[in-house]
Structure 1
Amino acid sequence: MTLTIIVVVAIVLVVFILGGIASRPGEWYRNLKKPSWNPPNWAFGPAWTIILSLAGAAAVFAWTAAADGGEQTRVAVLFAINIFFYVIWSPLFFAARRPDWALAEVPFLWLSILALIVGLWDISSTASWLLVPFLLWVTFAAFLNWRIVRLNAPFGSKAEVPSHALHGEHARERR
Protein backbone atom coordinates (compact mmCIF):
# COMPACT_ATOMS: atom_id res chain seq x y z
CA MET A 1 0.00 0.00 0.00
CA THR A 2 2.86 2.41 0.76
CA LEU A 3 4.29 1.98 -2.74
CA THR A 4 0.83 2.55 -4.21
CA ILE A 5 0.49 5.80 -2.28
CA ILE A 6 3.95 6.98 -3.34
CA VAL A 7 3.25 6.23 -7.00
CA VAL A 8 -0.17 7.92 -6.89
CA VAL A 9 1.21 11.00 -5.11
CA ALA A 10 3.96 11.25 -7.74
CA ILE A 11 1.45 10.98 -10.58
CA VAL A 12 -0.87 13.55 -8.98
CA LEU A 13 2.06 15.96 -8.50
CA VAL A 14 3.15 15.57 -12.13
CA VAL A 15 -0.42 16.12 -13.35
CA PHE A 16 -0.84 19.13 -11.05
CA ILE A 17 2.46 20.65 -12.21
CA LEU A 18 1.63 20.08 -15.89
CA GLY A 19 -1.77 21.66 -15.38
CA GLY A 20 -0.22 24.59 -13.54
CA ILE A 21 2.40 25.20 -16.21
CA ALA A 22 -0.20 25.10 -18.98
CA SER A 23 -2.72 27.23 -17.06
CA ARG A 24 -0.86 30.46 -16.56
CA PRO A 25 -3.65 32.94 -17.22
CA GLY A 26 -1.62 35.97 -18.28
CA GLU A 27 -2.89 39.16 -19.86
CA TRP A 28 -4.78 37.36 -22.64
CA TYR A 29 -6.99 35.58 -20.10
CA ARG A 30 -7.43 38.67 -17.95
CA ASN A 31 -8.71 40.54 -21.02
CA LEU A 32 -11.38 37.98 -21.86
CA LYS A 33 -14.96 38.85 -21.03
CA LYS A 34 -16.17 36.54 -18.26
CA PRO A 35 -19.54 35.99 -16.62
CA SER A 36 -20.21 37.62 -13.27
CA TRP A 37 -20.12 34.19 -11.60
CA ASN A 38 -16.56 33.47 -12.77
CA PRO A 39 -14.52 32.49 -9.68
CA PRO A 40 -11.51 34.67 -8.82
CA ASN A 41 -8.24 33.39 -10.29
CA TRP A 42 -6.87 32.50 -6.84
CA ALA A 43 -9.72 29.98 -6.30
CA PHE A 44 -8.69 27.64 -9.11
CA GLY A 45 -5.46 26.45 -7.45
CA PRO A 46 -7.11 25.36 -4.18
CA ALA A 47 -10.06 23.84 -6.06
CA TRP A 48 -7.82 21.73 -8.28
CA THR A 49 -5.62 20.79 -5.32
CA ILE A 50 -8.64 19.38 -3.50
CA ILE A 51 -10.04 17.68 -6.60
CA LEU A 52 -6.74 16.08 -7.61
CA SER A 53 -6.12 14.98 -4.02
CA LEU A 54 -9.52 13.29 -3.96
CA ALA A 55 -8.80 11.69 -7.34
CA GLY A 56 -5.48 10.44 -5.99
CA ALA A 57 -7.21 8.99 -2.94
CA ALA A 58 -9.74 7.36 -5.28
CA ALA A 59 -6.90 5.78 -7.24
CA VAL A 60 -5.35 4.37 -4.05
CA PHE A 61 -8.70 3.01 -2.84
CA ALA A 62 -9.48 1.43 -6.22
CA TRP A 63 -6.01 0.00 -6.77
CA THR A 64 -5.80 -1.58 -3.32
CA ALA A 65 -9.38 -2.90 -3.52
CA ALA A 66 -8.83 -4.46 -6.95
CA ALA A 67 -9.21 -8.23 -6.63
CA ASP A 68 -6.76 -9.14 -9.38
CA GLY A 69 -4.53 -7.89 -12.17
CA GLY A 70 -7.49 -7.44 -14.50
CA GLU A 71 -9.17 -5.02 -12.13
CA GLN A 72 -5.90 -3.19 -11.55
CA THR A 73 -5.52 -2.84 -15.31
CA ARG A 74 -9.04 -1.39 -15.49
CA VAL A 75 -8.14 1.12 -12.76
CA ALA A 76 -4.92 2.10 -14.53
CA VAL A 77 -6.52 2.43 -17.97
CA LEU A 78 -9.48 4.49 -16.73
CA PHE A 79 -7.18 6.87 -14.86
CA ALA A 80 -4.73 7.10 -17.79
CA ILE A 81 -7.53 8.09 -20.16
CA ASN A 82 -8.78 10.67 -17.67
CA ILE A 83 -5.31 12.11 -17.11
CA PHE A 84 -4.85 12.46 -20.86
CA PHE A 85 -8.06 14.49 -21.25
CA TYR A 86 -7.35 16.49 -18.09
CA VAL A 87 -3.86 17.45 -19.25
CA ILE A 88 -4.80 18.55 -22.78
CA TRP A 89 -7.57 20.98 -21.79
CA SER A 90 -5.26 23.69 -20.37
CA PRO A 91 -2.91 23.91 -23.38
CA LEU A 92 -5.93 24.20 -25.67
CA PHE A 93 -7.51 26.96 -23.59
CA PHE A 94 -4.44 28.91 -22.44
CA ALA A 95 -1.42 28.12 -24.65
CA ALA A 96 -3.33 27.85 -27.94
CA ARG A 97 -5.73 30.59 -26.75
CA ARG A 98 -8.60 28.53 -28.10
CA PRO A 99 -11.37 28.29 -25.52
CA ASP A 100 -13.56 26.99 -28.35
CA TRP A 101 -11.26 24.00 -28.89
CA ALA A 102 -11.06 23.44 -25.13
CA LEU A 103 -14.86 23.47 -25.01
CA ALA A 104 -14.95 20.81 -27.74
CA GLU A 105 -12.61 18.70 -25.58
CA VAL A 106 -14.66 19.07 -22.36
CA PRO A 107 -17.20 16.31 -23.17
CA PHE A 108 -14.33 13.82 -23.46
CA LEU A 109 -12.94 14.91 -20.09
CA TRP A 110 -16.41 14.79 -18.53
CA LEU A 111 -17.10 11.32 -19.96
CA SER A 112 -13.71 10.07 -18.76
CA ILE A 113 -14.65 11.11 -15.20
CA LEU A 114 -18.05 9.47 -15.53
CA ALA A 115 -16.34 6.32 -16.87
CA LEU A 116 -14.10 6.34 -13.78
CA ILE A 117 -17.07 6.66 -11.43
CA VAL A 118 -19.03 3.88 -13.16
CA GLY A 119 -16.02 1.68 -13.96
CA LEU A 120 -14.66 1.74 -10.41
CA TRP A 121 -17.98 1.29 -8.62
CA ASP A 122 -17.79 -2.51 -8.35
CA ILE A 123 -14.15 -2.31 -7.28
CA SER A 124 -14.53 0.49 -4.71
CA SER A 125 -17.66 2.57 -4.27
CA THR A 126 -15.61 4.85 -2.02
CA ALA A 127 -13.29 5.59 -4.94
CA SER A 128 -16.29 6.39 -7.12
CA TRP A 129 -17.78 8.76 -4.54
CA LEU A 130 -14.43 10.54 -4.19
CA LEU A 131 -14.60 11.38 -7.90
CA VAL A 132 -18.02 13.06 -7.75
CA PRO A 133 -16.58 16.51 -6.84
CA PHE A 134 -14.31 16.21 -9.91
CA LEU A 135 -17.35 15.59 -12.11
CA LEU A 136 -19.26 18.46 -10.52
CA TRP A 137 -16.35 20.90 -10.88
CA VAL A 138 -15.79 19.95 -14.53
CA THR A 139 -19.52 20.39 -15.14
CA PHE A 140 -19.27 23.89 -13.68
CA ALA A 141 -16.05 24.57 -15.61
CA ALA A 142 -17.72 23.41 -18.84
CA PHE A 143 -20.49 25.99 -18.37
CA LEU A 144 -17.89 28.62 -17.59
CA ASN A 145 -15.87 27.62 -20.68
CA TRP A 146 -19.06 27.73 -22.80
CA ARG A 147 -19.93 31.18 -21.50
CA ILE A 148 -16.42 32.51 -22.16
CA VAL A 149 -16.65 31.21 -25.72
CA ARG A 150 -20.05 32.87 -26.18
CA LEU A 151 -18.80 36.19 -24.80
CA ASN A 152 -15.52 36.29 -26.75
CA ALA A 153 -15.80 34.35 -30.02
CA PRO A 154 -14.35 34.18 -32.58
CA PHE A 155 -10.93 32.85 -31.67
CA GLY A 156 -7.89 32.27 -33.83
CA SER A 157 -5.68 34.55 -35.89
CA LYS A 158 -8.40 37.17 -36.57
CA ALA A 159 -9.16 37.28 -32.85
CA GLU A 160 -5.58 38.33 -32.12
CA VAL A 161 -6.12 41.68 -33.85
CA PRO A 162 -6.92 44.36 -31.24
CA SER A 163 -10.48 45.66 -31.63
CA HIS A 164 -9.25 49.28 -31.90
CA ALA A 165 -7.31 48.30 -35.04
CA LEU A 166 -10.49 47.20 -36.82
CA HIS A 167 -12.58 49.68 -38.75
CA GLY A 168 -15.99 49.92 -40.33
CA GLU A 169 -18.41 47.04 -40.67
CA HIS A 170 -15.98 44.37 -39.54
CA ALA A 171 -15.39 46.13 -36.23
CA ARG A 172 -19.14 46.19 -35.49
CA GLU A 173 -19.44 42.46 -36.28
CA ARG A 174 -16.76 41.60 -33.73
CA ARG A 175 -18.45 43.46 -30.86
Structure 2
Amino acid sequence: MAPMRRNDWLALGGWLLLTFAAAALGSAASIRAADFYATLAQPHWAPPATVFGPVWGVLYLLMALAAWLAWRHGGGWRGARAALGLFVFQLVANTLWSWLFFAWHLGALAFIDIILLCALLACTLVAFWRIRALAGLLLLPYLAWVSFAAALCFSVWRLNPQAL
Protein backbone atom coordinates (compact mmCIF):
# COMPACT_ATOMS: atom_id res chain seq x y z
CA MET A 1 0.00 0.00 0.00
CA ALA A 2 1.24 3.47 -0.85
CA PRO A 3 2.19 5.72 2.05
CA MET A 4 -0.41 8.19 3.29
CA ARG A 5 -0.29 11.54 1.53
CA ARG A 6 -1.61 14.83 2.86
CA ASN A 7 -4.71 14.43 0.68
CA ASP A 8 -5.41 11.03 2.28
CA TRP A 9 -5.33 12.54 5.77
CA LEU A 10 -7.61 15.39 4.69
CA ALA A 11 -10.05 12.90 3.19
CA LEU A 12 -10.03 10.84 6.37
CA GLY A 13 -10.85 14.00 8.32
CA GLY A 14 -13.61 14.81 5.85
CA TRP A 15 -15.24 11.38 6.16
CA LEU A 16 -15.01 11.56 9.94
CA LEU A 17 -16.54 15.04 9.89
CA LEU A 18 -19.38 14.05 7.55
CA THR A 19 -20.20 10.88 9.48
CA PHE A 20 -20.12 12.50 12.91
CA ALA A 21 -22.09 15.50 11.60
CA ALA A 22 -24.83 13.04 10.64
CA ALA A 23 -24.54 11.54 14.12
CA ALA A 24 -24.88 15.01 15.67
CA LEU A 25 -27.96 15.82 13.57
CA GLY A 26 -29.55 12.55 14.63
CA SER A 27 -28.65 13.08 18.25
CA ALA A 28 -30.26 16.54 18.15
CA ALA A 29 -33.54 14.71 17.66
CA SER A 30 -32.67 12.41 20.52
CA ILE A 31 -32.04 14.99 23.24
CA ARG A 32 -35.00 13.68 25.23
CA ALA A 33 -34.75 10.15 23.86
CA ALA A 34 -33.89 8.51 27.18
CA ASP A 35 -36.97 10.03 28.86
CA PHE A 36 -39.26 9.12 25.97
CA TYR A 37 -37.76 5.65 25.55
CA ALA A 38 -38.26 4.96 29.27
CA THR A 39 -42.01 5.60 28.92
CA LEU A 40 -42.41 3.01 26.16
CA ALA A 41 -43.31 -0.64 26.62
CA GLN A 42 -40.28 -2.68 25.58
CA PRO A 43 -39.84 -6.27 24.45
CA HIS A 44 -38.01 -8.38 27.03
CA TRP A 45 -34.94 -8.54 24.76
CA ALA A 46 -34.51 -4.76 24.45
CA PRO A 47 -31.13 -3.51 25.69
CA PRO A 48 -30.96 -0.75 28.30
CA ALA A 49 -30.91 2.79 26.90
CA THR A 50 -27.33 3.25 28.14
CA VAL A 51 -26.07 0.74 25.53
CA PHE A 52 -27.05 2.81 22.50
CA GLY A 53 -24.63 5.74 22.84
CA PRO A 54 -21.41 3.72 23.11
CA VAL A 55 -22.48 1.29 20.37
CA TRP A 56 -23.35 4.09 17.98
CA GLY A 57 -20.09 5.91 18.71
CA VAL A 58 -18.08 2.87 17.62
CA LEU A 59 -20.32 2.26 14.62
CA TYR A 60 -19.97 5.84 13.35
CA LEU A 61 -16.20 5.55 13.60
CA LEU A 62 -16.25 2.27 11.64
CA MET A 63 -18.56 3.85 9.05
CA ALA A 64 -16.21 6.79 8.50
CA LEU A 65 -13.20 4.49 8.16
CA ALA A 66 -15.06 2.29 5.68
CA ALA A 67 -16.04 5.30 3.55
CA TRP A 68 -12.49 6.59 3.62
CA LEU A 69 -11.09 3.22 2.55
CA ALA A 70 -13.60 3.06 -0.31
CA TRP A 71 -12.68 6.61 -1.30
CA ARG A 72 -8.94 5.96 -1.10
CA HIS A 73 -8.90 2.60 -2.88
CA GLY A 74 -11.69 3.40 -5.30
CA GLY A 75 -10.02 6.42 -6.84
CA GLY A 76 -11.81 9.16 -4.91
CA TRP A 77 -15.24 10.48 -5.80
CA ARG A 78 -14.66 9.99 -9.50
CA GLY A 79 -13.81 6.30 -9.20
CA ALA A 80 -16.16 5.33 -6.36
CA ARG A 81 -19.08 7.68 -6.99
CA ALA A 82 -21.83 5.03 -6.81
CA ALA A 83 -20.50 3.40 -3.62
CA LEU A 84 -19.89 6.70 -1.88
CA GLY A 85 -23.27 8.02 -3.04
CA LEU A 86 -24.92 4.99 -1.42
CA PHE A 87 -22.96 5.73 1.74
CA VAL A 88 -24.25 9.31 1.84
CA PHE A 89 -27.85 8.20 1.18
CA GLN A 90 -27.70 5.66 4.00
CA LEU A 91 -26.34 8.40 6.30
CA VAL A 92 -29.41 10.50 5.46
CA ALA A 93 -31.74 7.58 6.22
CA ASN A 94 -29.82 6.93 9.44
CA THR A 95 -30.19 10.54 10.58
CA LEU A 96 -33.84 10.73 9.56
CA TRP A 97 -34.73 7.71 11.68
CA SER A 98 -33.93 9.54 14.93
CA TRP A 99 -36.20 12.41 13.95
CA LEU A 100 -39.04 10.13 12.88
CA PHE A 101 -38.91 8.00 16.01
CA PHE A 102 -37.72 10.23 18.85
CA ALA A 103 -38.69 13.76 17.82
CA TRP A 104 -41.86 13.22 15.79
CA HIS A 105 -43.02 9.89 17.33
CA LEU A 106 -43.91 8.44 13.92
CA GLY A 107 -43.41 4.71 14.50
CA ALA A 108 -44.65 3.46 11.13
CA LEU A 109 -42.51 5.90 9.16
CA ALA A 110 -39.52 5.18 11.42
CA PHE A 111 -39.93 1.48 10.67
CA ILE A 112 -40.16 2.11 6.91
CA ASP A 113 -37.08 4.31 7.15
CA ILE A 114 -35.04 1.69 9.02
CA ILE A 115 -35.98 -0.97 6.47
CA LEU A 116 -34.81 1.42 3.74
CA LEU A 117 -31.65 2.00 5.78
CA CYS A 118 -31.01 -1.76 5.94
CA ALA A 119 -31.37 -2.04 2.16
CA LEU A 120 -29.15 0.97 1.47
CA LEU A 121 -26.60 -0.29 3.95
CA ALA A 122 -26.51 -3.77 2.41
CA CYS A 123 -25.97 -2.22 -1.02
CA THR A 124 -23.27 0.07 0.38
CA LEU A 125 -21.53 -2.88 2.03
CA VAL A 126 -21.45 -4.82 -1.25
CA ALA A 127 -20.24 -1.76 -3.19
CA PHE A 128 -17.50 -1.08 -0.63
CA TRP A 129 -16.52 -4.77 -0.57
CA ARG A 130 -15.98 -4.69 -4.34
CA ILE A 131 -13.61 -1.77 -3.93
CA ARG A 132 -11.78 -3.06 -0.86
CA ALA A 133 -12.93 -6.01 1.23
CA LEU A 134 -11.91 -4.34 4.49
CA ALA A 135 -14.22 -1.40 3.72
CA GLY A 136 -17.13 -3.81 3.42
CA LEU A 137 -16.11 -5.75 6.52
CA LEU A 138 -16.09 -2.57 8.59
CA LEU A 139 -19.79 -2.14 7.79
CA LEU A 140 -20.80 -5.62 8.99
CA PRO A 141 -21.23 -4.61 12.67
CA TYR A 142 -23.31 -1.63 11.53
CA LEU A 143 -25.56 -3.84 9.38
CA ALA A 144 -25.96 -6.31 12.26
CA TRP A 145 -26.88 -3.52 14.69
CA VAL A 146 -29.30 -1.82 12.29
CA SER A 147 -30.98 -5.17 11.59
CA PHE A 148 -31.41 -5.68 15.33
CA ALA A 149 -32.61 -2.07 15.65
CA ALA A 150 -35.20 -2.68 12.91
CA ALA A 151 -36.67 -5.58 14.88
CA LEU A 152 -36.62 -3.47 18.03
CA CYS A 153 -38.23 -0.51 16.23
CA PHE A 154 -41.02 -2.72 14.93
CA SER A 155 -41.62 -4.28 18.35
CA VAL A 156 -41.64 -0.98 20.22
CA TRP A 157 -43.90 0.61 17.61
CA ARG A 158 -46.41 -2.26 17.84
CA LEU A 159 -46.30 -2.30 21.65
CA ASN A 160 -46.96 1.45 21.85
CA PRO A 161 -49.66 2.44 19.34
CA GLN A 162 -50.77 5.34 21.58
CA ALA A 163 -47.28 6.90 21.62
CA LEU A 164 -46.02 5.98 18.16
Identical columns (%): 30
1:93 Cα deviation after fit: 0.2
Of 100, 104, 108, which residue of structure 1 is paired with 2:108? 100
Residues 68 and 10 of structure 1: is their aligned pair in 2 closer, same or farther, counting only changes over 3 Å?
Answer: closer
Q: Please provide the CA RMSD for this pair.
A: 1.6
Q: Quote the residue 2:3 is aligned against.
A: none
Give deviations 1:85-106, integer Å, cap 9, x for gaps: 1111010001111222201211
Of 4, 20, 29, which residue of structure 1 is paired with 2:11? 4
Gaps of 5+ in 2: 1-7
1:75 Cα deviation after fit: 3.2
Residues 2 and 36 of structure 1: is their aligned pair in 2 closer, same or farther, counting only changes over 3 Å?
Answer: same
Q: Quote the residue 1:32 is aligned against.
A: 40
> 1:62-141, aligned counterparts within 5 Å?
62-67=70-75, 69-141=77-149
How high is the TM-score relative to the length of structure 2?
A: 0.88
Q: Quote the residue 1:14 is aligned against.
A: 21
Count of aligned positions = 156
Question: Computing the radius of gyration over CA atoms, which structure comes out larger, 1 or 2?
Answer: 1
How high is the TM-score relative to the length of structure 1?
A: 0.83
> 1:54 and 2:62 equivalent?
yes
Give deviations 1:39-96, integer Å, cap 9, x for gaps: 1111101000111111111011111001465423223311111111111101000111
